[in-house]
Chain A
Amino acid sequence: MAPALRRAAIVGGNRIPFARSGKRYAQASTQDMLTAAIDGLVARYGLQGERVGEVAAGAVLKHSRDLNLTREAVLSTALAPTTPAYDVQQACGTGLEAAVLVANKIALGQVDSAIAGGTDSASDAPIAVDEGLRRVLLDLGHARTPQQKLKAISRLRPGNLVPAPPRNSEPRTGLSMGEHMAITAAERRIPRQAQDELALASHRNLTAAYDRGFFDDLVTPYLGLKRDDNLRPDSTLEKLSSLQPVFGRSGRAADLAEPTMTAGNSTPLTDGAAVVLLASDEWAEQRRLPVLAHLVDAETAAVDYVHGGDGLLMAGAHAVPRLLERNGLTLQDFDLYEIHEAFAATVLAVLDVWNDEEYCRERLGLPAALGTIDRSKLNVAGSSLATGHPFAATGARILASTAKLLSERGGGRALISICAAGGQGVTAIVEA
């Protein structure tokens, strides 16, 4: 008989400060960073030698050698070596999706405790060999006779020796994420100033959160870095508005509107790792560990950005109304909103369509618009524009911070939405 469902508790989190790529963590691997993030969590909650139910984490930019990345990281930590682990990958949704997976196992009683998270390094990104060279090398491996070997080698051309760097573009459209977002921003007419204001708020909120010690039990310094090095405490609207646009300067976006997306209102390539500790209430209580909040429900959506009319990063807008309906809630029934700032325009576009009667009826199949939210409840401790965005690490960063924010205010409900490549979006409700 299946046991009664129980809500998974969020006990706490840990991350290393996020670093702009090619800087402080240029020599660190994804596994190094994930290990450091887990070890910091272990130290905070005294989990040395503990067999945690499971660890689920992943990386978006992943080396072929890292086929068992999370398990290998676990073996390097102070956790019991008998702790099972597996890799998850859902682009920028990885961290949150991993948390949802382990939370469901906790809910079912299959595990009592779990760590979820993600790690990414744009500095240490894999570089693949040319496809032609790869075929030659594989055939060489299969060849038995000298003649067969010679034949394989004879197919080699100088051009095959040029390595293939990682691509930041969607395989089906050839457009980068920024170019995709620029199209959506142009379609929705998201003003430049609103984007810069959102970016400024992110830096200010993150600075204030650091200054009041909010991250003292959420962040552990790594390789000498103590705060996210993308954070600009002294940023101003003047500085942000002086930046040149970098996306939407050509193609469909340029046909529709003036380019608005700059390096200031877009996230930079970032290195980092983050994890979150989830458990049953009983497990936490037995160890006198806190329960900051509970992960109540989650919904992942995908949009047909290739042929349909939805933007690449708009899936969160589709997932949330389903989540609301299932839980009998309206968009306004939340005390906090955490919408991942892949780009300032992403957040603004999602808020824009939710308040658009036509979009809600036609695209989301709703009877009416979801309406607006109180912007003072949005990303109150800063988000990805200020912290940076190591793809797979973002979900655990947001989930742990959100749980702590709810716990600090003595209770409440939060909505999390994270957009991801491939036209996907992972959303969740957290309550304390």
Chain B
Amino acid sequence: MPTQPTDRYAQFVGTAPGTWLSSQLGLPRPAELRRAQPGKRVLDGPALVVGTGLAPLRADLADLLRAAGTDVLDELPEEAADHGGRLAAIVVDATGLREVAELEQVRAAVVPAFRRLAPSGRLLVVAAAVDEAATVAAAAVQQGLEGFVRSAAKEARAGATANLVRVRAGASAADWASTVEFFCSGRSAYVDGQVVTVGPAPAAAPAQERERPVAVVTGAAQGIGAAIAEALARGGAHVVCVDIAAQGEALAQVANRVGGTALHLDITSASAPAALAEHLRTRHGGADVIVHNAGITRDKLLVNTDADRWASVLEVNLAAELRIDDALLETEGALHAGARFVCLSSLSGIAGNRGQVNYSTSKAGVIGAVRAMAPLLAKRGMTANAVAPGFIETAMTARMPVATREMGRRANSLQQGGRPEDVAETVAWLADPRSRGVNGQVVRVCGQSLLGA
């Protein structure tokens, strides 16, 4: 594994003198985040599961967490209880709220519990889809929950996060289980202040999971791509690791580490889409997961962006991806029923970034593509989603000027950079066969960055 850059400030703050100094000076105090480890439970402490209004999902939410080995509470424990009365998660079923006055129930339930939230704790609000609200007031209430969650995320301390899951009408517990699990677990360590909508699984989705699904990851030789390959392999997938031939040495190491295969392919070449489709058809009998991760930057201010810098970034980050999707969808046998597309966007594609006009355009384009593909794919039981990383500690960010890097690290609610595995776990959740109800979503992995929020 290539070593990740160290956040020396975060390390210092973790020491006793560092803690004292940073609190005296009012400096940021990034916490070490709880992250998933094999064999570790979804939550490492009790979860308070409360219903507000009719709370039609409360019982299912409690059952899901219990099945995941969590001690589920329906009221706040005494402070002297186990864990000092600390809560690993607060899960609120707000799907039934219709009237503004009912929002008080959310406040009343969360306020006393929020102080008890353990380090890296989770506030997860489950809400209804706004566009399905029966009344104006219900829509206002359901939309209002986003403001509630996003502000709570900014106030949460010690690595705790707050996110909102919207459940569409007709979605069953099986449809949202993987999503609720993801947001409660350490896999979502750097996902904060996000809103994700889960719908019912498309009718065309296959009933059976494949024993060893086949996943394709482009740009898999290093950084986030390599982490995605590892996460998908941990989940049981055979990963076809794709990168340009020049990256072959690192790519072979990744493929051998994850027990997958290495494929040298320049995704921008005219023959690449057909070659990949043919490879997946003949060598693997079709793919289940396609992760478009390969990307490049050619940063310059807008006024200095020439046609070459423009074209190369749009070609690699957007055009090649679209051509490959077309080829895979058109080639009989290249994809399995229920295939998942996960496309890497970027916070730059949402918020824009100085010096990245070309990159931001391409990454915003990715979001547009995913949203347009989603309804088309749903008819075939497939999904497309985008993941937009914020500041992730990679070799690329290690080369940034110190001031820029420190700004990137601290300008988010968790006051630190994410790790490649945080992006990878998010991709793995979207690629999970159980996540078939998550479609057309854009999920940021940014620690609730101040940018573009």
Using a CB–CB distance below 8 Å, which chain A residues touch chain B? 36, 39-40, 42-46, 48-49, 78, 213, 215-217, 219-224, 226, 288-290
Contacts and interface: CB of A to CB of B under 8 A. Distances in A.
Given A288-B283, A288-B284, A215 B256 contact: no
Contacts of A215: 245
A44 B262 contact: yes
B262 A288 contact: no
Contacts of A289: 283
B217 to A, nearest CB: 14
Please give me the 6 A-B residue pairs with the lowest Cβ-Cβ distance, nearest first: A43-B252, A43-B255, A43-B262, A78-B256, A220-B248, A216-B264
Contact of B261 (A43, A49, A219, A226): A43
A219 B245 contact: yes
A226 B245 contact: yes
A131 B264 CA distance: 49
Nearest to B247: A221
Contacts of B283: 288-290
Interface string B262-303: 111110010100000000001111000000000000000000
Nearest to A216: B264
A217 B279 CA distance: 12
Interface of B: 238, 241, 245-249, 251-253, 255-256, 259-266, 269, 271, 282-285
A43 B264 CA distance: 11
10 contacts: A42-B256, A45-B261, A49-B259, A78-B256, A213-B266, A213-B271, A216-B264, A220-B262, A222-B249, A288-B284
Contact of B252 (A40, A216, A226): A40
Q: Most A CB atoms within 10 A — which of B238, B252, B261, B266?
A: B252
Nearest to B244: A216
B282 A288 contact: yes
Q: Most A CB atoms within 10 A — which of B246, B259, B264, B266?
A: B264
A221 B262 contact: no
B285 A288 contact: yes
Contacts of A49: 259
Nearest to A287: B283
A220 B262 CA distance: 10
A46 B245 contact: no
Contact of A39 (B246, B256, B259, B271): B256
A221 B249 contact: yes
Nearest to B252: A43
Nearest to A225: B249
Contacts of B253: 39, 43
Nearest to B254: A43
B245 A48 contact: no
A221 B260 contact: no
B447 to A, nearest CB: 34
B282 A216 contact: no
Contact of B282 (A42, A46, A223, A290): A290
A221 B282 contact: no
A40 B249 CA distance: 8
A46 B252 CA distance: 10
Contacts of A39: 252-253, 256
Contact of B246 (A36, A44, A46, A226): A226
Given A39-B256, A40-B262, A221-B245, 13 more contacts: A43-B251, A43-B256, A43-B261, A45-B261, A216-B245, A217-B263, A217-B264, A219-B248, A220-B252, A220-B262, A221-B249, A224-B249, A290-B282
Contacts of B245: 213, 215-216, 219, 221, 226
B249 A48 contact: no
Contacts of B241: 43
Contacts of A223: 249
Contacts of B284: 288
A215 B246 CA distance: 11
Contacts of B255: 43-44, 46, 48
Nearest to A220: B248
A289 B261 CA distance: 12
A220 B244 CA distance: 11
A45 B252 CA distance: 10
Contacts of B249: 36, 40, 220-224
A288 B281 CA distance: 10
A289 B283 CA distance: 6
A288 B278 CA distance: 12
Contacts of B265: 216
Contacts of A226: 245-246, 248
Nearest to A41: B252
A213 B248 CA distance: 13
A215 B248 CA distance: 11
A219 B265 CA distance: 12
Nearest to B262: A43
Nearest to B269: A213
A46 B259 CA distance: 7
A13 to B, nearest CB: 13
Contacts of B252: 39-40, 42-44, 220
A5 B252 CA distance: 35
A39 B248 CA distance: 11
A46 B266 contact: no
Contact of B260 (A46, A217, A220, A224): A46
A220 B282 CA distance: 22
Contacts of B251: 43, 220
A220 to B, nearest CB: 4
A288 to B, nearest CB: 5
Contacts of B262: 40, 43-44, 220
Nearest to B285: A288
A288 B264 CA distance: 18
A221 B264 CA distance: 11
A48 B256 contact: yes
A215 B271 CA distance: 15
Contacts of A43: 241, 251-253, 255-256, 261-262
Nearest to A14: B252
B274 to A, nearest CB: 13
A216 B283 CA distance: 16
Contacts of B269: 213
B272 to A, nearest CB: 10
